[in-house]
């Protein structure tokens, strides 16, 4: 188990980041599940009544069985069949995972959903059936519900008791989005070889570290999107000019750069700086930020 | 430097592998939609292979690349591929078979001490309930919830009690009655099980209370000279049902013991370990309750003869015992 609650280490040993689903997301998925399964059961019964496929004497029995199935069995079977997702979890794009990085076991899914009866359905029923006339049951219901919520909120992975027992937690599914590589998609005014056009030399590139590089990357990512308004265009120009001035002052870059070349200057500087930092890193000198010289001393 | 000369090292790294990552993304989408077991052999093989390559690439990229966007991106398909590759591959039918044939009886055998404690608790409750009733019949109304008593109480005459024991069910179909009983009893069992985690006490109390009800109920009938008749009436389903409650209690006790005496482990770890057997016990209890509800809903109404009721009830009890004692030995 690692210190960061979002990190999971699969058997391959490469830690992966799965953002833990928050309490609100849990509740949302649960409500969606109850609505879907409840409606499905009700629709099935209605269908049986309307078509008259079964004798009325069986209906009550079938109904009771259906509403039993949409409790624990529905969650166990759907999470088994869809690898840790119920329909509600699919809607919320969340998923149950084993927090030790191993595969989900049927045992874990059974256990965490058995506890759902005591942790979710019972408090929900209690809250729905509150009776203002009787104080003691209301207080017990309040204490129980508070306890169930407190367990979830008091651990960083937002696990309920069933999750703790089963060794599982609920995470967001990461969405893969791959933007273009900034160092290779420079505009025509400054191709990759154009980096040399600005003539950055090693002494120019000794000042910044990874933090500044990735901040610059974020600025350039914004530049890639088409500006929405004239005001936006104007603001971006000002931001570019300010950044270029800061960089030139810091790295002691003598040549003047006209405003039209600001963007290509930043791109070229990004490429050169990244190449330089990555080179240093391979040689064993990782530079976290611009204070790398002070911290080394 | 070979390869495309214009690119810096980490961009070349990306350019060489990007096609593989895209293919991995497509395979993961396929696996998530259809399930790995329905993919072609070639696709499944590529998925596993590309996943391990992507994991390696991610580890390398974290060392050599400062391209934040690439690191963020690469994590997502790797993570989703990991979930697909390590998804549970068992079929649900196979799971049921394995559970019934091997793992459930084995868990029951391991938990025999807890089951004994559960049985003892209920027996103690029954003894107390009976003794209290003979002491003063008004205890009956203290223990017995009205919906379970079904109108039977210290005020009932022997004839009324006999009619309830050998009478037809009042209203509703047998099936409805059986499923109602099952859902009611299952909830109690899940309750007893789930509450066990709070340091055993609630599970023991509930089991004891169930024993109290039983004791008072039986005492009422013995008092009216209907001891054997109520024995038969209870036997046909009660052997199964009461054992199920004791087993649910045993599951709860396992969890509670883990909370109270975690030993060298942390409490969360101890609960997790204890949960392995406890969950199986809860499932066994649910299964037995289903059988009990069917026996109670159908069997008890259809079989009116005292001797047959006793015979059926205890034979089925013996079958449960044989299953627990004998099934899956050597297979584990």
Mean pLDDT by 10 residues, chain B (332 residues): 61 89 92 84 92 92 85 88 85 85 90 93 93 86 71 74 68 60 72 73 86 87 84 85 90 88 85 85 87 78 81 91 86 52
pLDDT band at A30 (very low <50, low <70, confident <90, very high): very high
- Nearest Cα to Cα of residue A271 among B72, B11, B1: B11
Domain check: are A37 and A74 in the same one?
A: yes
Domain check: are A84 and A14 in the same one?
A: yes
Q: Are B81 and A176 in contact (CB under 8 A)?
A: no
Q: How many structural domains compose chain B?
A: 2
Domain check: are A29 and A157 in the same one?
A: yes
A80 in contact with B at a CB cutoff of 8 Å?
yes
Domain check: are A58 and A165 in the same one?
A: yes
Strand partners, B98: none
Tell me if residue B89 falls in helix, strand or coil.
coil
pLDDT (0 to 100) of residue A297:
52
- Whether residue A32 is contained in a domain is answered as yes
The last residue of one of the domains, among A137, A172, A207, is A172
A156 in contact with B at a CB cutoff of 8 Å?
no
A89 in contact with B at a CB cutoff of 8 Å?
no
pLDDT (0 to 100) of residue B6:
65
Kindly state the tokens that stand for A120: 């979710």
Domain check: are B67 and B140 in the same one?
A: no
- Whether residue B246 is contained in a domain is answered as yes
Domain check: are B138 and B98 in the same one?
A: yes
Element (H, E) at A98: strand A94-98
Q: Which of A62, A111, A282 sits opposite B279 (nearest CB)?
A: A111
Query: What is the DSSP code (8-state) at residue A96?
Result: E
Lowest mean pLDDT: which of A123-127, A193-197, A200-204, B5-9?
A193-197
pLDDT (0 to 100) of residue B319:
93
A174·B52 Cβ contact <8 A: no
pLDDT (0 to 100) of residue A189:
38
Domain check: are B49 and B80 in the same one?
A: yes
- Nearest Cα to Cα of residue A86 among A70, A74, A69: A74
Q: Are B104 and B283 in contact (CB under 8 A)?
A: yes
Kindly state the tokens that stand for A216: 């610059």
The last residue of one of the domains, among B85, B108, B125, is B85
- Whether residue A56 is contained in a domain is answered as yes
Element (H, E) at A172: strand A168-172
Top pLDDT among A54 and B235 is at B235
- Whether residue A248 is contained in a domain is answered as yes
Domain check: are A11 and A105 in the same one?
A: yes
A104 in contact with B at a CB cutoff of 8 Å?
yes
Domain check: are A105 and A244 in the same one?
A: no
Position A94 pLDDT exceeds 90 = yes
The last residue of one of the domains, among B21, B52, B85, is B85
B190·A117 Cβ contact <8 A: yes
The last residue of one of the domains, among B48, B68, B85, is B85
Mean pLDDT value of segment A272-280: 88
Q: Which residue of B has its CA nearest to A103?
A: B86
Domain check: are B69 and B137 in the same one?
A: no
Q: How far is residue A66's CA from residue A64's CA, in Å, rounded to a whole number? A: 5
Domain check: are A35 and A129 in the same one?
A: yes
Pick the residue of A79, A178, A219, A269 with the most B CBs within 10 A to test the interface with B by mutation.
A178
pLDDT (0 to 100) of residue A2:
47
Q: How many structural domains compose chain A?
A: 2
Domain check: are A38 and A136 in the same one?
A: yes
Domain check: are A162 and A201 in the same one?
A: no
Nearby residues of B50 by Cβ (< 8 Å), 6 or more positions away: B20, B23, B24, B27, B81
- Whether residue B155 is contained in a domain is answered as yes
Position A55 pLDDT exceeds 80 = no
Domain region containing B54: 9-85
- Whether residue B332 is contained in a domain is answered as no
Strand partners, A171: A20, A95
The last residue of one of the domains, among A119, A139, A172, is A172
- Whether residue A62 is contained in a domain is answered as yes
Backbone φ, ψ for residue B117 (5° rounding): -60, -40
- Whether residue B214 is contained in a domain is answered as yes
pLDDT (0 to 100) of residue B153:
72
Domain check: are A130 and A21 in the same one?
A: yes
- Whether residue B2 is contained in a domain is answered as no
How distant is the alpha carbon of residue B281 from its chain centre? 6
Domain region containing A270: 188-296
- Whether residue B228 is contained in a domain is answered as yes
B284 to A210, B137, B298: CA distances (angstroms): 57, 36, 21
Residue B242 Cα, gap to closest chain A Cα (Å): 20
Q: How far is residue A262's CA from residue B103's CA, in Å, rounded to a whole number? A: 69
């Amino acid at each position: 188990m690692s210190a960061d609650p979002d990190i999971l280490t699969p058997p391959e040993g490469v830690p992966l980041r799965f953002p833990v689903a928050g309490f609100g997301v849990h509740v949302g998925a649960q409500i969606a599940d109850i609505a879907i399964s409840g409606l499905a059961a009700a629709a099935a019964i209605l269908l049986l009544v309307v078509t008259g496929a079964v004798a009325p004497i069986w209906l009550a029995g079938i109904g009771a069985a259906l509403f039993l199935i949409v409790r624990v069995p529905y969650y166990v079977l759907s999470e088994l069949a869809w690898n840790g997702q119920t329909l509600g979890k699919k809607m919320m794009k969340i998923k149950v995972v084993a927090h030790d990085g191993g595969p989900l076991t049927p045992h874990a899914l059974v256990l965490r959903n058995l506890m759902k009866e005591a942790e979710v359905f019972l408090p929900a029923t209690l809250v729905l059936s509150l009776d203002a006339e009787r104080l003691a049951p209301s207080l017990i219901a309040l204490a129980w519900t508070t306890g169930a919520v407190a367990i979830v909120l008091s651990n960083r992975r937002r696990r309920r008791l069933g999750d703790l027992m089963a060794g599982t937690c609920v995470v967001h599914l990461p969405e893969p989005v791959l933007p273009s590589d900034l160092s290779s998609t420079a505009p025509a005014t400054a191709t990759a070889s154009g980096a040399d056009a600005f003539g950055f030399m090693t002494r120019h590139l000794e000042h910044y570290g990874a933090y500044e590089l990735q901040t610059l990357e974020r600025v350039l990512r914004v530049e890639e999107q088409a500006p929405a308004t004239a005001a936006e265009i104007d603001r971006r120009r000002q931001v570019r000019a300010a950044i270029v001035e800061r960089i030139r002052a810091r790295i002691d870059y003598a040549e003047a750069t006209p405003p039209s070349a600001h963007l290509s200057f930043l791109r070229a500087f990004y490429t050169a700086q990244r190449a330089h930092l990555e080179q240093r890193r391979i040689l064993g000198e990782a530079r976290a930020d611009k204070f790398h010289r002070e911290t080394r001393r | 430097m070979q390869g495309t000369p214009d690119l810096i090292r980490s961009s070349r790294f990306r350019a060489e592998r990007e096609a593989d990552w895209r293919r991995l993304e497509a395979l993961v989408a396929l696996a998530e939609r259809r399930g790995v077991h329905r993919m072609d052999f070639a696709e499944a093989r590529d998925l596993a292979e590309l996943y391990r390559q992507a994991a390696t690439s991610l580890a390398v990229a974290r060392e050599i690349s400062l391209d934040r966007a690439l690191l963020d991106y690469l994590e997502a398909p790797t993570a989703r591929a990991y979930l697909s590759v390590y998804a549970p591959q068992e079929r649900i039918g196979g799971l049921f078979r394995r559970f019934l044939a091997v793992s459930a009886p084995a868990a029951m055998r391991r938990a025999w001490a807890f089951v004994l404690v559960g049985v003892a608790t209920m027996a103690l409750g029954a003894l107390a309930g009976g003794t209290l009733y003979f002491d003063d019949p008004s205890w009956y109304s203290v223990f017995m919830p009205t919906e379970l008593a079904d109108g039977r109480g210290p005020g009932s005459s022997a004839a009324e009690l006999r009619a309830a024991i050998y009478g037809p069910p009042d209203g509703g179909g047998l099936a409805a009655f059986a499923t109602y009983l099952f859902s009611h009893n299952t909830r109690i069992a899940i309750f007893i099980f789930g509450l066990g985690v709070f340091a055993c006490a609630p599970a023991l109390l509930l089991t004891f209370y169930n024993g109290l009800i039983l004791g008072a109920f039986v005492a009422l009938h013995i008092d009216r000279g209907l001891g054997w008749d109520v024995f038969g009436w209870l036997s046909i389903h009660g052997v199964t049902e009461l054992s199920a409650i004791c087993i649910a209690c045993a599951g709860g006790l396992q969890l509670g013991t883990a909370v109270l005496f975690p030993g060298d482990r942390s409490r969360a770890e101890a609960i997790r370990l204890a949960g392995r057997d406890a969950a199986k016990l809860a499932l066994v209890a649910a299964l037995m309750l289903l059988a009990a509800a069917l026996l109670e809903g159908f069997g008890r109404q259809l079989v009116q003869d005292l001797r047959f009721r006793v015979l059926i009830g205890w034979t089925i009890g013996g079958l449960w015992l044989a299953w627990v004692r004998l099934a899956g030995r050597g297979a584990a």
